[in-house]
Amino acid sequence: MAMEKTFNASEAEPRLTAMWEAQNAFAAGANRSRDESFTIMIPPPNVTGALHVGHAFNNTLQDILIRWHRMRGFDTLWQPGQDHAGIATQMQVEKMLAATQQPSRAELGRQKFLEKVWEWKGQYGGTIVEQLKRLGCSCDWNRNAFTMAGAEGDPRVGHENSPNFHDAVIKVFVEMYEQGLIYRGKRLVNWDPHFETAISDLEVENIEVAGHMWHFKYPLAGGATYTYVEKDEDGNVTLSEERDYISIATTRPETMLGDGAVAVHPDDARYAPIVGALCEIPVGPKEHRRLIPIITDEYPDMSFGSGAVKITGAHDFNDYEVAKRAGIPLYRLMDTKGAMRADGAPYDAAATVALEVSKGLKTLTVSEADALNLVPEELRGLDRFEARKAVVEQITSEGLAVMVSEEFNDEDGETQTRLVPYVENKPIMQPFGDRSKVVIEPMLTDQWFVDAEKVVDPALEAVRSGEIKIMPESGEKTYYHWLENIEPWCISRQLWWGHQIPVWYDAEGHYYCAATEAEAIEKAGGKPLERDPDVLDTWFSSGLWPIGTLGWPEDTDEMRRYFPTDVLVTGFDILFFWVARMIMMQKAVVKEIPFHTVYLHQLVRDEKGKKMSKTTGNVIDPLEIVDEFGADALRFTNAQMAALGGVLKLSKQKITGYRNFTTKLWNAARFAEMHEATGSDGAVPQAEATVNKWIIGETAKVRETVDAALEAYRFNDAANALYAFVWGKVCDWYVEFSKPLLMDADAATKAETQAVMAWVIDQCVILLHPIMPFITEELWGTLGSREKILAHTDWPTYGGELVDAAADAEMNWVIGLIEEIRSVRAQMHVPAGLKVPVVVRDMSAEAKAAFEGNEALIKKLARMDALHGVTTFPKGTAALSVTGAAFGLPLADVIDVGEEKARLEKTLGKLAKEIGGMRGRLSNPKFVASAPDEVVEETRANLAEREEEEGLMKAALKRLEEI
């Protein structure tokens, strides 16, 4: 049956996917023929996820590595699975509930809500798996894992093979707790007022927004005054005045209510007279104004603002450090929604206690300070941004804002000056939740932390020693930088969807960490206990992905065979979130590295380099691309743009180009099929004809290039080499060369060429399979009856031994001659269909042999008829710039002397430039002395060739001038 003109991807892809699946072709160990294993853990996409271009890119690279190793006979495992994605999933399900008019999360309660989430997961969690299959991903789908598999409520639908994942997570928490690597503490954390949970530093995005800086006066206690003196650089006094206040600048006036002190730099002479004094927070009921001390600390920047900083330890990370150093109490002002607190005792009672603390009459424990609500009654319950407005208004109306003069035009258009509150409009960096997009509030809360400093050293050492290699290398620098400055990792989340923390509390607030409630009760001596309602950060469990998916803590066969895994392919953006934590946790838990290589890539962007986003409308949907162009085109594009460390710009135009490449390959195969040159047995064919020897050598070269490129994770090099080989060598030259041999040559040559052609096409298909699995598997089946599917076909191992240097040289000369004839024809406007004679003189024996050995090919491809040996060129002959002989096209009738002169002069110009450079180098004794011999030799040989060409061209030009 004749092949269609193009590959029908939309018909073939699902059929091939089903075929692979029916054969269980991607099972761990499939096509295994050697002992070494090769394992990749998929970066688990969120269960809420839909395939985007980033997944498509990332998984294409993994699949290339996996298919390549599987064909090479490694014991190969690509472990798939999904991440439960705490916040994202909880958010998604809540949205669904709202959209379908079901009871909300709060109305349902924890138990019922979690049932809904599991139900939702069962329904939609498999979406991404199907999408990855459409891309051709050869994961062992029967092993599909889930980071919450085995957790309470898991109905075990589907086929997760890792019911232990939850047990593994709990076991690790308990062990790390017992080793003192996990602790509970009241610390300042990033609080997300939308989701009402703590989040880690990494989940915060600092974004520059337009903000204001207010300047307020904090009056000194009891109306005290001091002389405020400002000096310039030379020490000359520029300002001296009596002040009864200290000036403070802030971008967050609402937090003034929680101030515990004002800090100035110890070297700041301006405030030296009042250090140790008390000043008044200028907000709240007059009769209960709080007094706070003026202290010194290295933190304030003398040149910034007034040089004095208010210290609100419970709502700012820098202030928190200052407060801790100076023993300043931390007063929390807000509730979980980011509104001003409405709990606790009335303001006057709380303010009275705080005043005693400021005066040193009383000290508070952290929780006593936290219990104190210092929000005045009229602000209680107000949203933090509303409270800000109220505070500013109150201070300003009381005349305690710092005033500056401003020019304005009055009714008559006259310029006047007036005093206005000093408010600077300036960009400020504001923290936002990466999921909720609301302003994050630093908040003092009780949370669980991993003492990262204690587990960081083995992780640093693993990379420093080279045990783990991060590619590109710049990733290692980033890795060191972060790990060397690591902060405690807040791992508790006030969510419901996730691994519930295995800690139970008794009525007195003592807590017991254990794998099960029964064990905890036992530890508590039988007391009734209540479990910590919080769940673990999703990244805590995904940090255990490499071992959890292999059945740890059980001593499984898979753990022994596939762990440590080999390569992790993932985005740069989760280097800290996930990669570093996996290394830390695997090192802490099983004392081994999780993988030896990390391949980091950039974000996939649009063709202009912009981030894809729904609002910009530049999102490319990989599934639409697959529909339109086929998965292979998208995959080839992904591989082609995967330069190490490169920016990834995806464009439809590029994809179209590689879709065209699949058509090209298809048609080369179709040509082979038409000439019964298909279905080799895989053995390298024996060849007599130079052209066949040559293409066998070229094939061997490209196999070596592809292997070397993939070995070095240079996917772009592998893709480009294959593209250049298939299109530029096989299609452009070999298929064309083969035509006279297949159609007009003797039976033996024809048979040989059929065998070589069949082998070459098969090799193209094999070598392209990791990148383009569908079209190649289809061709494999179409072109022959095979013992094994292509995905299980052995990867070739031939190499340089197949390269025949003489054949190589001869074919390069033939190609050069053909190109030169074509070029002269085109420039001399010889009609494309016209066959022309060629004249030659001074032909070397080599050139003669090369010409005669390939006469049929040359004549066909250059559209020439006979070659005439001559002693002198006839008038009007255009000379060819080829070595080994003086060829010419006798074009007396058609030649345009002017054009030919211009052509020759241009060629001579180019030659002169090259020759000049080479002569210059060779005449420099230092070059000859210092450069490697082979470079010198190469230059000499090159120069001789160019000089020969130059001689021919000069002679031709001279003849032309005689006409």
Partner RNA sequence: GGGCGAUUAGCUCAGUGGUAGAGCACUUCGUUGACAUCGAAGGGGUCACAAGUUCGAACCUUGUAUCGCCCA
Q: Is 450 helix (H, G, I), strand (E, B) or coil?
A: strand
Question: What's the closest the beta carbon of residue 785 comes to RNA, in angstroms?
Answer: 22
Distance of CA 517 to the CA centre of its chain: 41
Question: What's the closest the beta carbon of residue 930 comes to RNA, in angstroms?
Answer: 3
Question: What's the closest the beta carbon of residue 210 comes to RNA, in angstroms?
Answer: 15
Question: What's the closest the beta carbon of residue 131 comes to RNA, in angstroms?
Answer: 24
Nearer to RNA, 50 or 574 (CB): 574
Nearer to RNA, 251 or 827 (CB): 827
Using CB under 7 A as the binding rule, whether residue 6 contacts RNA is answered as: yes
Question: What's the closest the beta carbon of residue 662 comes to RNA, in angstroms?
Answer: 7
Task: Enumerate the β-bridge partners of residue 65.
Answer: none
- Determine which residue in the list 481, 555, 683, 845 makes contact with RNA, applying CB under 7 A: 481
What number of CA atoms fall less than 13 Å from residue 43's CA on the CB side? 29
Residue 448: name the closest of 196, 173, 166, 202 by CA: 173
Nearer to RNA, 28 or 709 (CB): 709
- Determine which residue in the list 21, 107, 205, 368 makes contact with RNA, applying CB under 7 A: 205
What number of CA atoms fall less than 13 Å from residue 223's CA on the CB side? 0
- Determine which residue in the list 10, 33, 104, 206 makes contact with RNA, applying CB under 7 A: 206
- Determine which residue in the list 654, 786, 848, 919 makes contact with RNA, applying CB under 7 A: 654
Question: In this structure, which amino acid lies at residue 587?
Answer: K
Nearer to RNA, 506 or 914 (CB): 914
Which tokens hold the place of 293? Answer: 């001390």
Nearer to RNA, 321 or 451 (CB): 321
| Residues of this chain, 408-467, that bind RNA according to CB under 7 A | 429
Using CB under 7 A as the binding rule, whether residue 657 contacts RNA is answered as: yes
Question: What's the closest the beta carbon of residue 187 comes to RNA, in angstroms?
Answer: 15
The CA distance from 725 to 705, in Å, is: 11
Using CB under 7 A as the binding rule, whether residue 743 contacts RNA is answered as: yes
Using CB under 7 A as the binding rule, whether residue 659 contacts RNA is answered as: yes
Using CB under 7 A as the binding rule, whether residue 490 contacts RNA is answered as: no
Nearer to RNA, 32 or 822 (CB): 822
Question: What's the closest the beta carbon of residue 889 comes to RNA, in angstroms?
Answer: 13
- Determine which residue in the list 668, 702, 722, 879 makes contact with RNA, applying CB under 7 A: 668
Task: Enumerate the β-bridge partners of residue 215.
Answer: 249
Which tokens hold the place of 689? Answer: 């004809």
Question: What's the closest the beta carbon of residue 731 comes to RNA, in angstroms?
Answer: 4
Angle of CA points 746, 747, 752, to nearest 5°: 105
- Determine which residue in the list 175, 467, 819, 855 makes contact with RNA, applying CB under 7 A: 819
Using CB under 7 A as the binding rule, whether residue 902 contacts RNA is answered as: no
The CA distance from 627 to 51, in Å, is: 14
The CA distance from 780 to 763, in Å, is: 10
Question: What's the closest the beta carbon of residue 203 comes to RNA, in angstroms?
Answer: 9
Query: Which residues make Cβ contacts (< 8 Å) with residue 102, sequence separation at least 6?
Result: 96, 116
Question: What's the closest the beta carbon of residue 904 comes to RNA, in angstroms?
Answer: 13
Question: In this structure, which amino acid lies at residue 719?
Answer: A
The CA distance from 288 to 286, in Å, is: 5
| Residues of this chain, 923-952, that bind RNA according to CB under 7 A | 924, 926-927, 930-932, 935, 938, 942
Residue 375: name the closest of 329, 344, 336, 338 by CA: 344
Question: What's the closest the beta carbon of residue 927 comes to RNA, in angstroms?
Answer: 4
Query: Which residues make Cβ contacts (< 8 Å) with residue 30, sequence separation at least 6?
Result: 24, 70, 76, 792
User: Contact at 8 Å (CB) between 647 and 611?
Assistant: no
Nearer to RNA, 645 or 951 (CB): 645
Using CB under 7 A as the binding rule, whether residue 616 contacts RNA is answered as: no
Using CB under 7 A as the binding rule, whether residue 286 contacts RNA is answered as: no
Using CB under 7 A as the binding rule, whether residue 855 contacts RNA is answered as: no
User: Do the bridges between strand 864-869 and strand 836-841 make them parallel or antiparallel, or are there none, so unpaired?
Assistant: parallel
Count the Cβ atoms, other than its own, within 10 Å of residue 848.
Answer: 14
Question: What's the closest the beta carbon of residue 856 comes to RNA, in angstroms?
Answer: 11
Question: What's the closest the beta carbon of residue 205 comes to RNA, in angstroms?
Answer: 6
E strand map for 807-903 = 836-841, 864-869, 877-879, 886-890
Helix (H) or strand (E) holding 567: strand 565-571
- Determine which residue in the list 142, 474, 516, 686 makes contact with RNA, applying CB under 7 A: 474
Count the Cβ atoms, other than its own, within 10 Å of residue 261.
Answer: 24
- Determine which residue in the list 251, 430, 597, 660 makes contact with RNA, applying CB under 7 A: 660
- Tell me the C-alpha to C-alpha distance, in Å, between residue 811 and each of 691, 721, 734, 746, 758: 7, 19, 10, 21, 20
- Determine which residue in the list 244, 732, 947, 948 makes contact with RNA, applying CB under 7 A: 732
The CA distance from 935 to 919, in Å, is: 14
Question: What's the closest the beta carbon of residue 460 comes to RNA, in angstroms?
Answer: 15
Query: Which residues make Cβ contacts (< 8 Å) with residue 427, sequence separation at least 6?
Result: 208, 209, 210, 211
Question: What's the closest the beta carbon of residue 423 comes to RNA, in angstroms?
Answer: 22
Using CB under 7 A as the binding rule, whether residue 211 contacts RNA is answered as: no
Specify the DSSP class assigned to residue 283: -
Nearer to RNA, 75 or 762 (CB): 762
User: Contact at 8 Å (CB) between 899 and 858?
Assistant: no
Using CB under 7 A as the binding rule, whether residue 606 contacts RNA is answered as: no
Using CB under 7 A as the binding rule, whether residue 371 contacts RNA is answered as: no
| Residues of this chain, 689-728, that bind RNA according to CB under 7 A | 716-717, 720, 724, 727-728
Using CB under 7 A as the binding rule, whether residue 892 contacts RNA is answered as: no
Helix (H) or strand (E) holding 189: strand 182-192
- Determine which residue in the list 209, 269, 674, 866 makes contact with RNA, applying CB under 7 A: 674
- Tell me the C-alpha to C-alpha distance, in Å, between residue 366 and each of 200, 330, 342, 370, 371: 22, 7, 19, 6, 9
Nearer to RNA, 239 or 826 (CB): 826
Distance of CA 424 to the CA centre of its chain: 39
| Residues of this chain, 550-579, that bind RNA according to CB under 7 A | 573
Which tokens hold the place of 783? Answer: 């072109």
Burial string for 281-303 (b: 16+ CB within 10 Å, else e) reads bbbbeeebbbbbbbbbbeebeee
| Residues of this chain, 630-649, that bind RNA according to CB under 7 A | 643-647, 649
Using CB under 7 A as the binding rule, whether residue 883 contacts RNA is answered as: no
Using CB under 7 A as the binding rule, whether residue 494 contacts RNA is answered as: no
Question: What's the closest the beta carbon of residue 912 comes to RNA, in angstroms?
Answer: 12
The CA distance from 423 to 428, in Å, is: 13
Using CB under 7 A as the binding rule, whether residue 826 contacts RNA is answered as: yes
Nearer to RNA, 654 or 901 (CB): 654
Using CB under 7 A as the binding rule, whether residue 653 contacts RNA is answered as: yes
Question: In this structure, which amino acid lies at residue 699?
Answer: T
Angle of CA points 764, 767, 773, to nearest 5°: 100
Q: Is 948 helix (H, G, I), strand (E, B) or coil?
A: helix
The CA distance from 386 to 337, in Å, is: 13
Nearer to RNA, 76 or 763 (CB): 763
Using CB under 7 A as the binding rule, whether residue 736 contacts RNA is answered as: yes
Nearer to RNA, 399 or 645 (CB): 645
**What is the tally of helices (H) and strands (E) in the chain?**
31, 33
Query: Under the rule (CB under 7 A), what is the footprint of RNA?
Result: 5-6, 201-202, 205-206, 208, 429, 473-474, 477-478, 481, 573, 607-609, 643-647, 649, 651, 653-654, 657, 659-660, 662-664, 667-668, 670-671, 674, 716-717, 720, 724, 727-728, 731-732, 735-736, 739, 743, 819, 822-823, 826-827, 832-833, 906, 914, 917, 921, 924, 926-927, 930-932, 935, 938, 942
